[in-house]
Amino acid sequence: MTRLRIDLVSDIACPWCAIGYARLQQALQSLHGAIEVDLHWRAFELNPDPALVPEPILPALCRKYGVPAAQMQQSQQMLMQLAAGLGLNFSGMEQRLTCNTFDAHRLLKWAAAAYPATAAQSVSAQTALKLALFEAYFGRAEQVSEHDVLLRCVAAAGLDADAAAQVLLSTQFADDVRAEEAAYQQAGISSVPAFVINQRYLISGAQEPAQLAETLQQIAAEAEQA
């Protein structure tokens, strides 16, 4: 068995990031335990403006990408169908609002620090919180910039909501998030998801499970020979 480190650069507000994680899980399942992954979620903000005023997602995306509403709605429907096939809940996809996810990333840093991952865990505390955030934003169209929503996600992940509330009331992990975002931007990562394998290889985008599995096998083989 080969163990690979994956730093998954992503944003809670990125649907392809949720899809990319689900496809990673399918890829690993197809390898029947030949590869294990040490997964670390890394911060990226699609809307980094802390003064962002939330607005309906469809017109915001139309303006951002310069496409008509009908085309964007079709694209969102395609993502919803794709997500359903992966067991993801994207039912709130078209009702969500734009949002800033900085505080959510701070909590993800806290989860990793407060609940260190162990080899015995199938899902780390950080991953459990990330999945709860995806579910809130894409499944229920909840605003994951709001502290009450964030704390419900913390509780849903089985983590200490009181401790998380203290983090939100402070500036804890703010410098860590900013430093991490800057480091990956300086490394040339400008879109997500981005899978950095063993701090050496880059897989860009939410690749199909079969293709992702093949790439992971190639990297694992090289790692064994090193």
For 109-147, write each residue's pLDDT tens digit.
999 999 998 777 779 999 999 999 999 999 999 999 999
Tell me, what DSSP letter sits at residue 73?
H
DSSP secondary structure of 129-192: HHHHHHIIIIIH---TTSHHHHHHHHHHTT--HHHHHHHHTS-TTHHHHHHHHHHHHHTT--SS
pLDDT at site 121: 76
Give pTM, 2 decimals: 0.96
pLDDT one-digit tens code per residue, 31-65: 999 999 999 999 999 999 999 999 999 999 999 99
Domains located in the chain, CATH noted: 2-225 (3.40.30.10)
pLDDT score of 96:
98
pLDDT over 70 for what percent of the chain? 99
